[in-house]
Copies of this chain bind each other. A is one copy, B any other.
């Protein structure tokens, strides 16, 4: 695997020049005490060092070695223990957590960049802290004070890890039909029984204890999603005894091979209710916005690394030549416009994705830290709209980018040596887990757009239009952004007016792509406007922005036609004909 050079200059351009976040932080009473431009810069540098020196160098070996399973125990790949220790000692396990329990309480708009660097360095490894952070988030939001006191400090510090146990063999995206059972015990705890599959980090040897958050049903629970409760089920109980749970096996997967994907068996394990009975799915959903943004970032991290590798290869590999050059004189791959097209496309997606994740994370920060209730409410609505797009669109572009990166290397991209094939295998999971991208698209269109008659989208469009009208943009970019907004507006209105579940289902993925490309156009306009000097970084930003507008934004024209197409064939075919 090629070296990883964390894109710190690019990140600081976003934080300081595009979004001017230090100013926002300074104006917020909570964040003003915690972070400023210098703190952010120091943290990014430290995270870059950790990612580059402690995690990235082992990513290929970890993939080859994978995790191993024997008699209920999972052994992680070489290098992961040391990296995990360094990560914990650096306090990265509590980056955004609650300071009352020892975490740092940093804004998400800063944390997304650390998460992205970890994902670039080794997606498998990055899942350990991510899952723990997710469990902490749910616990901090919904757990009793007693549970928080007992568990959060050791989870933030990295001494203990966390896992999320949702999926069952017959119930993946359809959590309403889970069968795991919870029975109340006399001491106020619950006995949890059932089998969970696809549990990332369900068992491993990095920590002494693993705190599972498990969805299960109480005996008298209503049918469907309204009968699900959430329980905290530790691997090791407070008295030091092993809880009645075990890892039955780990999956053999296409990628993220150094992350153990476990079958977890709960056999009357002791658990503690988190939040209210039958409100487990609600509790889970409040944290899902964070998790899904996190998975969207996982599409960007590997894409960045793929770009760096492809760019290096293209600079150094001598192959072919421009017209007129002697046939025995080979030139760098960068003389070929098609190679540049691939590299430009990769950068256009990766840099816009990073900008979009920053934008969305900052909205999440407003919902969490602002003292202006109206601003909080508005931000929450926008976050609800944008989250499935960050997850679905950024990971779809993540695969596209990594496949392009592999393609730049030709046959050398298909063999292990350069690491491109691993990035493709790793990033592929991001389109699948935490709700497949098809489900994200249905969530977007069916729950976030159609029910409010497109009001959230209208807000986004108005903001982008206002930006187009007020910012310093080229005439071409201004009119292209306004036209793109218009297309999005027309498609939204078309679907909202028709409104049938069949139409929403048939067009959801097209619509997710459409709004994604329009948002990336808005992000590129923001970046182009901020890149107003003659520095190399600014010049390159303007160049890639121009490429995005001329070569990639036109994809929306087909998507509009696809949305407005006749979809009657789809449901006409009988099931037996498939």
Minimum Cβ distance to chain B for residue A475 (Å) = 13
8 Å CB interface, A132-190 against B: 167, 170-174, 176-177
Q: Residue on B with the closest CB to A312?
A: B578
CB of A449 closer than 8 Å to a CB of B: no
Which of A284-292, A359-367, A382-390, A405-413 participates in binding chain B?
A: A405-413
Q: With the chains together, A164 CA to B433 CA distance in Å?
A: 42
Minimum Cβ distance to chain B for residue A216 (Å) = 15
CB-based contact A174/B414 at 8 Å? no
Identical chains in the assembly: 2
8 Å CB interface, A467-489 against B: none
- A 499-543 to B, binary, CB cutoff 8 A, 1 in contact else 0: 001101110110000000000000000000000000010001001
Q: Residue on B with the closest CB to A420?
A: B254
CB of A279 closer than 8 Å to a CB of B: no
**Given known A-B contacts A328-B176, A338-B442, A432-B410, A343 and B578 have beta carbons under 8 A apart:** yes
Pick from B171, B314, B339, B344: contact of A569, CB below 8 A: B344
Minimum Cβ distance to chain B for residue A485 (Å) = 17
Minimum Cβ distance to chain B for residue A158 (Å) = 27
Please give, as numbers and ranges, the residues of chain B lying within 8 Å of A442 by CB-CB distance. Answer: 338
Pick from B253, B338, B565, B578: contact of A421, CB below 8 A: B253
CB of A111 closer than 8 Å to a CB of B: no
Which of A36-44, A86-94, A114-122, A545-553 participates in binding chain B?
A: A545-553
Q: With a 10 A CB-CB cut-off, give which of A198, A338, A431, A559 has the most chain B CB atoms.
A: A338
CB-based contact B569/A561 at 8 Å? no
Q: With the chains together, A343 CA to B141 CA distance in Å?
A: 40
CB of A225 closer than 8 Å to a CB of B: yes
CB of A74 closer than 8 Å to a CB of B: no
Please give, as numbers and ranges, the residues of chain B lying within 8 Å of A174 by CB-CB distance. Answer: 319-320, 330
**Given known A-B contacts A551-B562, A565-B554, A416 and B252 have beta carbons under 8 A apart:** yes
**Given known A-B contacts A410-B172, A438-B407, A571 and B253 have beta carbons under 8 A apart:** no
Q: Residue on B with the closest CB to A437?
A: B407
CB-based contact A198/B558 at 8 Å? no
CB of A35 closer than 8 Å to a CB of B: no
CB of A315 closer than 8 Å to a CB of B: yes
Q: With the chains together, A508 CA to B504 CA distance in Å?
A: 35
CB of A425 closer than 8 Å to a CB of B: yes
CB-based contact B337/A502 at 8 Å? yes
CB of A334 closer than 8 Å to a CB of B: yes
CB of A56 closer than 8 Å to a CB of B: no
Q: With a 10 A CB-CB cut-off, give which of A318, A343, A412, A577 has the most chain B CB atoms.
A: A577
CB-based contact A506/B577 at 8 Å? no
CB-based contact B573/A411 at 8 Å? no
Q: With a 10 A CB-CB cut-off, give which of A320, A323, A414, A415 has the most chain B CB atoms.
A: A414
CB of A368 closer than 8 Å to a CB of B: no
CB-based contact A536/B437 at 8 Å? no
8 Å CB interface, A248-263 against B: 251-255, 261
CB-based contact A173/B319 at 8 Å? yes
**Given known A-B contacts A414-B432, A415-B251, A547 and B569 have beta carbons under 8 A apart:** yes
Please give, as numbers and ranges, the residues of chain B lying within 8 Å of A413 by CB-CB distance. Answer: 432
CB of A326 closer than 8 Å to a CB of B: yes
**Given known A-B contacts A174-B330, A558-B556, A411 and B438 have beta carbons under 8 A apart:** no
Other 19 A-B pairs with CB < 8 A, given A224-B326, A337-B505: A171-B319, A172-B319, A173-B410, A174-B330, A197-B411, A223-B326, A253-B416, A261-B415, A314-B578, A315-B575, A315-B578, A337-B502, A338-B441, A339-B438, A344-B570, A414-B428, A414-B432, A536-B577, A554-B565
- Using a CB–CB cutoff of 8 Å, the interface residues on chain A facing chain B are 167, 170-174, 176-177, 197-198, 223-226, 251-255, 261, 311, 314-315, 318-320, 322-323, 326-328, 330, 332, 334, 336-344, 399, 403, 406-407, 410-416, 421, 424-425, 428-429, 431-433, 436-438, 441-442, 501-502, 504-506, 508-509, 536, 540, 543-544, 546-547, 550-551, 554-559, 561-562, 565-573, 575, 577-578
Contacts A/B (CB < 8 Å), 26 sampled: A173-B319, A173-B320, A223-B326, A224-B327, A226-B327, A251-B415, A253-B421, A254-B416, A261-B415, A311-B578, A315-B575, A322-B501, A332-B575, A336-B438, A337-B567, A337-B571, A344-B570, A406-B432, A407-B431, A407-B438, A540-B577, A543-B569, A544-B569, A550-B569, A554-B562, A557-B561
